[in-house]
Amino acid sequence: MHYNLLTIVPIENTNYVAFTFFIGCMAMLGASVFFFFEVSNTDKKWRTSILISGIITFIAAVHYYYMRDYYLATNLSPTFFRYVDWLLTVPLMCVEFYLITKKAGAKITLLWKLVAASVFMLITGYIGEAIYGNDPQSWIWGFISSIGYFYIVYLIWFGEVAKLANNAGTAVARANKTLGWFVLVGWAIYPIGYIAGTQGGLFGVNVFQGLSLDLVYNIGDAINKIGFGLVIYTLAQADKETTLV
Ligand SMILES: *C/C=C(C)/C=C/C=C(C)/C=C/C1=C(C)CCCC1(C)C
């Protein structure tokens, strides 16, 4: 199919999905500007973390710019670029967990465990969506993907990340708890999109029917990328106040 690059496709009033692509792009851009400027207003030890928060929302902003165009032009889910975005941003969120626990002795192997689990979760999810999306058995890939997801939840709530965060002082421990809620509840939004958007539903049962996969993913991304960055920002600010007294 051929698309004229110079044609502007307007967003219809009732096209909520396209609108969330648009507003998502703006929100990610705004958040990036905020995080980038706040780097210089942050204690040295937290600067890399704030910078990464900005890089996460910036990568998403660029992808949303493209995905909005793609969706408007084709009316299809931009599955490939959705997963390219996640493959870049989710491992960067793992880096954030590593950085906040590093001061309490986190080793690089912890980072690799988190990254490996997230890549496993995303690749198997992509296979389920892109290759088996129309197959009643696609839930199997969602199920396999969830193993990676629950391993990350385990590490953050009960495993190495939790233990190190608790040893790193109250500010880090509190931030890790909040980030843990983002991973447990905020990230659980994504499987809902997957269940809504693939034939296999939930273990073969079609629930969340009529719900747009893209709408769910767009809401999930706004909450998780911007909210997650703001938790890191709050931690950096709180830590500054306590150390300067
Ligand atoms: C910024 C993007 C983020 C935080 C994306 C997170 C994505 C997930 C937690 C996706 C999880 C999935 C499952 C747990 C099962 C079904 C397949 C996925 C990939 C949607």
CB 176 within 8 A of CB 239: no
Our measurement of the distance from residue 181's CA atom to the centroid of its chain's CA atoms, rounded to an integer in Å, reads 13
Question: Which atom of ligand 1 has the smallest separation from the CA of 193?
Answer: 20
State whether residue 205 is helix, strand or coil. strand
The residue whose CA is least distant from atom 17 of ligand 1 is 125
Which of 202, 77, 211, 207 is closest to 140 using CA atoms? 202
pLDDT of residue 245: 42
pLDDT in tens, the chain (245 residues): 666 666 678 888 889 999 999 999 999 999 999 999 999 999 999 999 999 999 999 999 999 999 999 999 999 999 999 999 999 999 999 999 999 999 899 999 999 999 999 999 999 999 999 999 999 999 999 999 999 999 999 999 999 999 999 999 999 999 999 999 999 999 999 999 999 999 999 999 989 988 999 999 999 999 999 999 999 999 999 987 655 44
Atom nearest to 89 CA in ligand 1: 1
Q: How many whole angstroms from 21 Cα to the centroid of ligand 1?
A: 18
State both tokens at 143.
């199920």
Q: What SS3 class is residue 202?
A: strand
Q: How much is the pTM?
A: 0.94
Instruction: For the chain, list the domains and their CATH numbers.
Output: 16-235 (1.20.1070.10)
Residue of minimum CA distance from atom 5 in ligand 1: 86
Cα separation, 55 vs 228, in Å, equals: 12
pLDDT at 136: 94
Report the separation in Å between the CA atom of 141 and the middle of ligand 1, taken as the mean of its atom positions: 12
Please state, in angstroms and rounded to a whole number, the distance separating the CA atoms of residues 148 and 152. Answer: 6
Rg of the chain over CA atoms, in angstroms? 19
Long-range contacts of 148-152 (CB under 8 A, 24+ apart): 148/117, 148/118, 148/119, 148/120, 148/121, 148/122, 148/124, 149/117, 149/121, 149/187, 149/191, 151/117, 152/94, 152/114, 152/117, 152/118, 152/121, 152/183
Tell me if 238 sits within 8 A of 171, measured CB to CB: yes
CA of 191 to the centre of ligand 1 (A): 6
Which one of 190, 203, 226 would you pick to mutate in the ligand 1 pocket, going by the greatest count of ligand atoms within 8 A of its CB?
A: 190
Give the nearest ligand 1 atom to 195 CA. 16
Q: Which residues line ligand 1 (CB under 6 A)?
A: 86, 89-90, 121-122, 125, 142, 145-146, 149, 187, 190-191, 194, 221, 224-225
Cα(26)–Cα(33) distance, rounded to whole angstroms? Answer: 11
CA of residue 127 to ligand 1 center, whole Å: 13
Nearest CA to ligand 1 atom 16: 142
